Amino acid sequence: MILFGQFFYRSWIATVLLTPIFFFYYINAKKKNTERRCHELGNQFRDAILSVSAGQKAGYSIENAFIAAQSDMQQLHGKNSVICKELSKLAKGLANNIVLEKLLYDLGEKSRNADIREFAQVFAVAKRSGGNMTKTMAEAIELIGNRMEVEKEIEVLISARRMEARIMEAVPFGIVFYVEITNRGFFTPLYHNPAGIFLMTVCMTAYIAAYLMTEQIIEIEV
């Protein structure tokens, strides 16, 4: 906000008045962090059900296979990983006699991850109907794996565009900074007068609109 207030208005009063934009940025950053965590959990969940599937083949019950998977995930992703925290909660739930179907359903709802939600639904139906759990696991692993491949392909395609967007966002600040160093006072007429304030407000609005539009373009959900 200090950058915006000083760049567009060179006024501490304007900096204070622009504070709401900071809260918008904070909320947006928090949302992106939640989406990143959801994506990370989905990728790690695939590894977890691979471990569960292996545990089943080794003779574990489905509940014990999920509990045993926590050890594998600690070695693979670390104790502080998202999946380890969720598996730990799942193990505590099983210890308190909460059925596995409900625990998986709650995990899917809380994480808002489509893969986990779909797996929880299919798992619940398969367990109630006495279906082949090994086959269910294999199909879930294949489904999540296919989605991960699509996500990787999209990420490769838009990564260059994302970098270009970040550079373009920094260009206006770089130009003004360069001109201020090489030609001091060049932009002074734009500040502290009604016409200049109006023009800079239009520029700031256009900049924010361009930023929001760019974010919408480069953020693609699979």
The DSSP code for 64 is H
**Under 8 Å between Cβ of 218 and 158:** yes
* 3-class DSSP state of 11: coil
What is the pLDDT, as a whole number, of residue 139? 77
Q: How far apart are the first and last CA of the chain?
A: 33
**Cα–Cα distance measured from residue 185 to residue 179, given in angstroms and rounded to the nearest whole number:** 9
Q: Is 171 within 8 Å of 7 (Cβ atoms)? A: no
| Domain spans, the chain | 35-145
The pLDDT tens digits along the chain (222 residues) read: 566 666 777 777 777 777 777 777 778 777 778 878 887 888 888 888 888 888 888 888 888 888 889 888 988 888 888 899 999 999 999 999 888 888 988 988 888 888 888 888 888 887 777 767 777 777 777 777 777 778 777 777 777 788 888 888 888 888 888 887 888 878 788 787 888 888 888 888 888 888 888 877 777 655
